[in-house]
Amino acid sequence: MPFDVAITLQRGKLRLDYAFQTEKGGLTALFGPSGAGKTSLLDAIAGLARPSEGRILVEDRVLFDKARRIDLRPEQRRCGYVFQDLRLFPHKSVRDNLLYGWRLAPAERRWMDFDAALGFLGIGHLLDRRPATLSGGEAQRVAIGRALLSGPRFLLMDEPLASVDAERREEILTVIERIRDELALPILYVSHDRAEVDRLASRVIAI
C-alpha cells in the first residue's frame, strides 16, 4: 500500500486526527481549506514534525510507529518533499541545489540521472544561476528536480502552484502529470484548489 497513515498531531491546544490509506498508482490529493493542517500532515510524513500518536507506513515501510517506538529521522525516510515555499539553498547554484540530494544518495538508490532530470524539467539552461535570480516557474521546476534527484521512494508536494504566476501554471501542471504518469512514484499532493485537484488526482482525501 503506498500510503497508510493514522496519526494524531498536537498543534498547541488543537488536536488533529488523520487516517487514510491509498491504493496503488496515481496521485492522491489532500484537499481542504487553508489552515486545515495539510502541511502539518506532510511534515509528519517527512519526519519534520512528530505525531503524538499513531503510525505512518509508506510502501509497507514503517516510518513512524508510536507503539513500537519507531521514528525514522528525516534523512532516513527517502521522501522527495517539494515545499510550498520551495526552500532552495540561496548560497548554492541551481546545479548544486539539484545535486544536493543526488550526491548524498548511494548509487543504487538513484533512479533518475542528472541529464534526464534536466531534460524532463527543461532546466538545463539555468544551472549556473542562483535561486534568487529565478522566476517562480523556474524555481518551482528546480525544486521538483532537486526532490526527484535525491532518489525518493515517494513524493510530497505542497501547493506546487502557489508560487507560480498564471501563465506558468500550465507548464508546471504538465510536469506534474508527467511525473504521475511516467515515474510510478506514489505522490501525496496538497491543494485547496478544486480545479487543480480534479485535473490531477486519481483520488481525493478531504482534510
Partner 1 sequence: MPALTPEEWQVLVLSLKVSFVAMAAALPLAFALAWVLARWRFPGKVLLDALVHLPLVLPPVVTGWLLLIAFGTNGPLGRFFAEWLGLTFIFRWTGAALAAAVMALPLMVRAMRLSIEAVDRRLEQAARTLGAGRWRTFATVTLPLAMPGVLAGLVLGLARSIGEFGATITFASNIPGETQTLPLAIYSALQMPGSEWQVTRLAVLSILVSVVALVASEWLARRSGQGGAHHAL
Residues within the interface to partner 1 (CB under 8 A): 46-48, 73-75, 77-81, 83, 85-92, 100-101, 104-105, 130-132, 134, 139, 146-147, 150
In 74-159, where do the E strands start and end? 79-82, 154-158
Shortest approach of partner 1 to residue 107 CB, angstroms?
Answer: 13
* Residue 87 CB, nearest approach to partner 1 (Å): 4
User: How many DSSP H helices and E strands does the chain contain?
Assistant: 6, 10
How far apart CA 184 and CA 55 sit, in angstroms, is: 24
Partnered with residue 55 across adjacent β-strands are 6, 65
Choice between 23 and 85, CB closer to partner 1? 85
Nearer to partner 1, 89 or 184 (CB): 89
By beta-carbon proximity to partner 1, the closer residue of 141 and 204 is 141
- CB contact set of 74 (below 8 Å; sequence gap of 6+): 46, 47, 48
Nearer to partner 1, 93 or 202 (CB): 93
* Closest distance of CB 195 from partner 1, Å: 26
Q: How far is the CB of 30 from partner 1 (least distance, A)?
A: 18
Residue 172 CA to residue 136 CA, distance in Å, equals 10
